[in-house]
Amino acid sequence: MKITKAEFLKSGTNKSHMLDGNKPEFLFCGRSNVGKSSFINGLCNRKNLARTSSKPGKTITLNMFEINEKLIFVDVPGYGYAIRSKAQIEQFGRMIEEYIKTRQELKLAFLLVDIRHAPTDDDKTMFEFLKYYGIKTVIIATKYDKITRNQLPKQIKLIKETLELTDEILIPVSSETRFNLDKVEEIFDSYVK
Ligand code: GTP
Ligand code: MG
């Protein structure tokens, strides 16, 4: 599905802030600075829809976008940002858990990891969490433009082994060069009527 219309709807931090409608929702999660907002912007062909920043940890709410009037993208604040306080980390945990546990509309999560590095303990925890609640998850390896083609097999292996992937889909992408964004677009096809 090509995205031709994308609109920011609202931000929220708890259940009461979620949307009333019943459009399928897609969650974008991953560490701060991994490229979630850039990925959403890339998919939507927009420069500044989901705000990107070189300063990690800016996003502290669940940010909801309506896509082609049919789907909802939910941008999740990055975890694993050291400068966050303990209270903020706990608040983040509660927020994301409540959302994942209760949100019927949530159809699929994208877990973004940096293609250059092994997934961290935070990534592993997030992935376990999604699996525990039975959320279908696609792994997105970001910033493909930062490695060479020769490095790809090794980095894929590292991600697969660290997260102990079995049959999950893993897609290397670059929001900068748009590498494989078309592959991600195809995923949405089965969710639109
Ligand atoms: P938080 O909102 O803090 O959780 O971060 P985020 O995951 O939304 O990351 P964001 O999209 O803001 O990107 C972080 C930095 O990585 C920015 O400087 C982006 O320009 C850069 N970046 C994102 N995607 C890519 C990519 O595909 N290639 C390259 N080279 N840089 C990227
Ligand atoms: Mg962001």
- pLDDT one digit per residue (tens) for the chain, 193 residues: 999 999 999 988 888 888 888 899 999 999 989 999 999 999 999 988 887 655 555 557 899 999 999 999 999 877 766 556 777 778 888 888 999 999 999 999 999 999 999 999 989 999 999 999 999 999 999 999 999 999 999 999 999 999 999 999 999 999 999 999 999 999 999 999 7
Question: Could you give the CA distance from residue 190 to residue 188 in angstroms, rounded to a whole number?
Answer: 6
Report yes or no: 170 and 115 within 8 Å, Cβ to Cβ. no
Q: Are the CB atoms for 93 and 73 separated by under 8 Å?
A: no
Q: Is 177 in the pocket of ligand 1 (CB under 6 A)?
A: no
CA distance 76 to 96: 8
Residues near ion ligand 2 (CB < 5 Å) are: 36-37, 59
Residue with tokens 């409608």: 21
Cα separation, 24 vs 163, whole angstroms: 26
Rounded to the nearest whole angstrom, what is the distance from the C-alpha of residue 142 to the centroid of ligand 1?
9
- Using a 6 Å cutoff on CB, does residue 103 contact ligand 1? no
C-alpha triplet 189, 191, 193: angle, nearest 5°: 90
Name the residue with the closest Cα to ligand 1, atom 23. 35
Which of 27, 37, 62 gets mutated to test ligand 1 (max ligand atoms within 8 A of its CB)? 37
> pTM here?
0.94
Phi/psi zone of residue 143: left (φ > 0), alpha (ψ -120 to 50 degrees), beta? left
Considering every ligand atom shown, identify the ligand nearest to the alpha carbon of residue 58 and give its number: 1
Beta-carbon count within 10 A of 47 CB: 9
Among protein residues, the one with the nearest Cα to ligand 1's atom 12 is 52
DSSP string, 97-143: HHHHHH-TTEEEEEEEEETTS---HHHHHHHHHHHHTT--EEEEEE-
| CA gap 186, 86 in Å, rounded | 39
CB 26 within 8 A of CB 109: yes
